């Protein structure tokens, strides 16, 4: 899940994938639809967080995916938020959080390829991820 902005301009989206670009420097890539409401704040603030979700975050993932029609700051209700280095909103109990500075935004067809340099991170040890596969949320079978 990508989170961006401050105050009344907080917004974000649920992403189906995030990719590592490099280890040195640590860099991530996410593709954002050009029509996404999160794109303008992302380009304005030039910082964002990637939050790796846990099973208890299924409702948050749905809100950030726009399932109930909520937009912007309303997507943040019902969860605990904090900040790391860039000031981007960070889900306090995420499995992992990567706080990024926008390094590049490359327009390609219907999407913008967003490349972010990781400036801070936090990982929760011994926790399960929330997975999305075949149109539904899943858990790992241990």
Tens-place pLDDT, residues 46-87: 999 999 999 999 999 999 999 889 999 999 999 999 999 999
Do 140 and 119 meet the contact criterion of CB atoms below 8 Å apart? no
Interatomic CA distance for residues 7 and 132, integer angstroms: 29
Inform me whether the pLDDT recorded for 142 exceeds 70. Answer: no
Q: Which fold has domain 2-137?
A: Pnp Oxidase; Chain A (2.30.110)
For the entire predicted model, the pTM comes to 0.94
Residues ≥6 apart with Cβ < 8 Å to 59: 78
**Torsion of the alpha carbons at 95, 129, 105 and 47, rounded to the nearest 10:** -20
pLDDT per residue as tens digits for the range 84-135: 999 999 999 999 999 999 999 999 999 999 999 999 999 998 889 999 889 8
């Amino acid at each position: 899940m990508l989170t961006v902005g401050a105050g009344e301009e907080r917004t974000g989206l649920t992403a189906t994938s995030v990719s590592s670009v490099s280890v040195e420097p640590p860099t991530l890539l996410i593709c954002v639809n050009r029509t996404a409401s999160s794109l303008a704040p992302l380009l304005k603030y030039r910082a964002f967080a990637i939050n790796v979700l846990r099973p208890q975050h299924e409702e948050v993932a749905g809100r950030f995916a726009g399932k109930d029609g909520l937009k912007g700051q309303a997507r943040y209700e019902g969860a605990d938020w904090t900040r790391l280095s860039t000031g981007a909103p960070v889900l306090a109990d995420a499995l992992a959080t990567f706080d990024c500075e926008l390094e590049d935004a490359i327009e390609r067809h219907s999407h913008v390829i967003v490349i972010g340099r990781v400036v801070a991170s936090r990982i929760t040890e011994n926790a399960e991820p929330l997975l999305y596969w075949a149109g539904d949320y899943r858990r790992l079978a241990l």
